[in-house]
A and B are shown apart, each in its own frame.
Chain A
């Protein structure tokens, strides 16, 4: 569960990104975060995994009190969630399987369990055959599937995705979206910042629109609502 109470964020260079945001996202929800570039979408997302700290207000994610969370404890918050990015953020020198295994090595899982979990999750995202290939040997869609597999391997309660289809062509994007739908069907919360109008208007979910650092709309089964 994610809850924000009157959250403000002003960066050290004086830019105020968020001006009083209150929102509640329940377990098992699928939420799109939309809005023009520079409206505060990214900041909104970054606050959830404590990449940024709020200037003011309260944030609770998976039982962690974000504004009180000590630097030392941040890793433990991150282990309860999976993050997926537009640029995949894979380690180029590691194979698909090693990239996924990494998230488990970090928390000290036994090797036997790592091997089994990695195999299972790679098969689940449809990359069972390509587990020994390097990111450079895979297509963009396949790389994003590895990133999703890495986000999933810990069995997180929340997946946070920042423009996960931003670098992909429409067909590939739909493949990735179906993957997110399947993850959501298992009961995992999904929060996704996106610019993809077609997807938002077709796969109808809750839409939170952020404009000028405030929530402009919050609708169940909402529409994208912008022209770009």
Chain B
């Protein structure tokens, strides 16, 4: 009985969608366009977040120790730094190791030159802060540790980077907020037009003794279908386009060289957000279109 009723409501919903073809088209388009723009913003936001996290993870302070300090004492200084507040890791790199790393970085064409010179590098400690935004403060503390010669903290780069990321995030929030408002406006407008053709229908339903829920259900299933289709279209478009772009760029954003979020990672979040929002908008629209008339 319950299942039969539910099937009836589903059938009615589908019938209404087909019957009001143009209205359905308008509603689906409104949802689809909104979610498309939202989806694209989300793709950008997720990648920006990934980039921010990636760059922040790379932020480190190079602490160069005084030349005269032997390796054993250097290790002690590294341990000492590690205990400072706000320090996540402090990795000790000996002179010899540093030289090897440099050799590797420069490549075989410089191998001869490197062999000819004596190692000029001091011992160093690579320090990462718990909170990358606190890197400068941590660097300042390290300066007062005895045995430390110089601290290279990339001072000019860090504040500008975080300023830029915060700005990007704030723009994103405003943009998405404006989008949601536009979406609600678009959809409520579509509904307002639908209402006129439906008020008679609802009035008649009430006169023959339909309960409010009996009247509401087909509208809800209608809304759900509109929401689902309205979410499926931008999902397909975005995921297809993103995957194509991802493959072409080989998983890296060339200009700034940071890893892009993979299509699979993106798909899961995008499906949850867009489908959820699509369903919400559809059902909200359905509820709004009947609410006014159920009070008769």
Contact = CB atoms under 8 A, between A and B. Distances in A.
Interface in A92-122: 93, 102-103, 105-108
Contact of A78 (B5, B19, B200, B207): B207
Contacts of A89: 200, 203-204, 207
Interface stretch (B46-54, B155-163, B210-218): B210-218
A51 interface: yes
B214 A106 contact: yes
Contacts of A103: 208-209
A215 to B, nearest CB: 26
B5 A75 contact: no
B152 interface: no
B8 interface: yes
* Centre residue among B204, B206, B211, B214 by max chain A CB count within 10 A: B204
Contact of B205 (A49, A79, A90, A106): A106
B296 interface: yes
Nearest to B205: A106
A160 to B, nearest CB: 10
B101 interface: no
A74 B8 CA distance: 22
Contact of B208 (A78, A93, A108): A78
Nearest to B294: A71
B19 A106 contact: no
B208 A150 contact: yes
A75 B211 contact: yes
Interface of B is mostly: helix
B8 A106 contact: no
A106 B1 contact: no
B141 interface: no
Contacts of A108: 1, 5
B212 A78 contact: no
A226 interface: no
A72 interface: yes
Interface string A152-179: 0010000000000000000000000000
Contacts of A107: 209
A93 B19 contact: yes
Interface in B190-226: 200-201, 203-212, 214
- Interface size class, chain B: 10 to 19
A76 B214 CA distance: 13
A143 B201 CA distance: 16
* Centre residue among B5, B206, B207, B214 by max chain A CB count within 10 A: B207
Nearest to B16: A93
Interface in A125-165: 150, 154
Contacts of B205: 102, 106
A106 B5 contact: no
Contacts of B204: 89-91, 102
Given A93-B19, A105-B8, A79 B203 contact: no
B195 to A, nearest CB: 16
Nearest to B1: A108
A153 to B, nearest CB: 9
Given A93-B19, A106-B214, A108-B5, A51 B208 contact: no
A83 interface: yes
Q: What 10 A-B pairs are tightest by C-beta distance, nearest first?
A: A78-B209, A79-B209, A103-B208, A106-B210, A75-B209, A75-B211, A89-B204, A83-B207, A106-B208, A93-B19
18 contacts: A72-B212, A74-B206, A75-B214, A77-B209, A78-B206, A79-B208, A79-B209, A83-B207, A89-B207, A91-B200, A102-B208, A105-B8, A106-B210, A106-B214, A107-B209, A108-B5, A150-B208, A154-B209
